[in-house]
Amino acid sequence: MTTQPGEAQVTPRPSALARLGSLGPLLGLGALMIVATLLNPDFLTLSNLSNVLTRAAFIGIIAVGATFVIISGGIDLSVGSMAALIAGSMILIMNAVSPGVGTFGIIALGMLCALLIGAGAGLLHGTVITRGRIEPFIVTLGTLGIFRSVLTYLSQGGSISLGNDLSDAYSPVFYGKLLGIPIPILVFAAVALLGGLILNRTRYGRYVQATGSNEQVARYAAVNVTQVKIITYVIQGLCVALATLLYVPRLGSASPSTGLLWELEAIAAVIIGGTALKGGSGRIWGTVVGAILLVTIENVLNLTSIISVYLNAAVQGVVIIIVAFMQRGKKVG
């Protein structure tokens, strides 16, 4: 349509309802917390909230990366398998290094390897998707299987455990606190802030949004779309690695079930947060809220006995569909 009704004169303000709608995830989380507190006052204790946030940190950090991928119009289904592979490889590497390097050195080396593997996996994804011109859904569906089966092979179907000394030295990364706040929560906050800054206030973030909104337009406007997309997958890989290196000291081992279905939770957090699955627009704070919301649901089921905690995934699934339903009207315009 070349003619918009009334054109220049009619440039409607976003309605009050639409503005309220954009706060939907936050309102939903608030409502859920009120209900949770009413059902079980223990919910609002500091230790429980800190527990919820720590657990949300893993999914949340991965979901921040997924926000970039999804806004650019892509998808990464492999993050759960990637986390398992990174965890297993990291432990194997750390166990193999001679103790002469010192515990601290070994842990630092393990973390570095984790980040390199994550970035490498992302680079592989991005390159195959852009240069090979294969749908991201297909590529990452393939690596979802590949990553997990490699880990299963490495662990021979069992688990890979970190040596006892290393495990003790590493555990503060998960259990430790700084200024009374658990380290995973601090890292999560830092990743979210940095992600928000990159997405909203840098050239790269603008290019990510432009690419997702209309790749052709971005290309014609002299944006290096290929590079932009590859970098989103590298960011995703780094986020997975970061989440994993926080997660490893929790159990001190990796097994074929490590990170199972994390991709679903990460993508769900992004969508609940208000990022459009078709790309083009999205927000990091929404993703953060989405991740917390998902973990809160599980927590509430654990604390109360109304719905069995075995139905956790079902309740989360219902929430995702409801959120998608509520966002449905806004996008049509």
Q: Which residues form the interface with other proteins (CB under 8 A)?
A: 1-13, 197, 201-203, 206-207, 209-210, 213-214, 216-224, 280-281, 333
Please identify, using beta-carbon distances, which residue of 223 and 301 lies nearer to other proteins. 223
- The distance of closest approach from Cβ of residue 86 to other proteins in the complex, given in angstroms and rounded to an integer, is 30
Distance of alpha carbon 153 from alpha carbon 161, whole angstroms = 15
Please identify, using beta-carbon distances, which residue of 40 and 213 lies nearer to other proteins. 213
**C-beta contacts of 23-26 below 8 A and 24+ residues apart:** 24/274, 24/323, 24/326, 24/327, 25/272, 25/273, 25/274, 25/286, 25/289, 25/290, 25/293, 25/323, 26/289
**Residues in the chain, how many?**
333
User: Strand 181-182 and strand 160-161: pairing?
Assistant: unpaired
Please identify, using beta-carbon distances, which residue of 10 and 179 lies nearer to other proteins. 10
Instruction: Taking each helix axis as running N to C, give the angle between helix 262-272 and helix 79-96, from 0 to 180 degrees, rounded to the nearest 10.
Output: 130
- N-term to C-term CA, the chain: 14
Cβ distance 258 to 87 under 8 Å? yes
- The distance of closest approach from Cβ of residue 207 to other proteins in the complex, given in angstroms and rounded to an integer, is 8
- The distance of closest approach from Cβ of residue 162 to other proteins in the complex, given in angstroms and rounded to an integer, is 39
Distance of alpha carbon 222 from alpha carbon 245, whole angstroms = 37
Please identify, using beta-carbon distances, which residue of 217 and 321 lies nearer to other proteins. 217
- The distance of closest approach from Cβ of residue 206 to other proteins in the complex, given in angstroms and rounded to an integer, is 6
- The distance of closest approach from Cβ of residue 217 to other proteins in the complex, given in angstroms and rounded to an integer, is 5
User: Which ranges in 97-251 belong to alpha helices (H)?
Assistant: 103-130, 136-154, 164-170, 172-175, 183-201, 203-213, 215-220, 225-251
Please identify, using beta-carbon distances, which residue of 11 and 164 lies nearer to other proteins. 11
Give the three-class secondary structure for 253. strand
- The distance of closest approach from Cβ of residue 193 to other proteins in the complex, given in angstroms and rounded to an integer, is 13
b/e burial code for range 258-278 (CB count within 10 A of at least 16 → b): bbeebbbbbbbbbbbbbbbee
Please identify, using beta-carbon distances, which residue of 157 and 333 lies nearer to other proteins. 333
- The distance of closest approach from Cβ of residue 9 to other proteins in the complex, given in angstroms and rounded to an integer, is 6
- The distance of closest approach from Cβ of residue 230 to other proteins in the complex, given in angstroms and rounded to an integer, is 15
Give the three-class secondary structure for 178. strand
Does an H or E element contain 181, and which? Answer: strand 181-182
- The distance of closest approach from Cβ of residue 19 to other proteins in the complex, given in angstroms and rounded to an integer, is 14
Distance of alpha carbon 122 from alpha carbon 295, whole angstroms = 26
Distance of alpha carbon 130 from alpha carbon 138, whole angstroms = 13
The distance of Cα 59 from the centroid of its chain, to the nearest Å, equals: 5
Please identify, using beta-carbon distances, which residue of 6 and 180 lies nearer to other proteins. 6
Please identify, using beta-carbon distances, which residue of 96 and 332 lies nearer to other proteins. 332
Please identify, using beta-carbon distances, which residue of 209 and 255 lies nearer to other proteins. 209
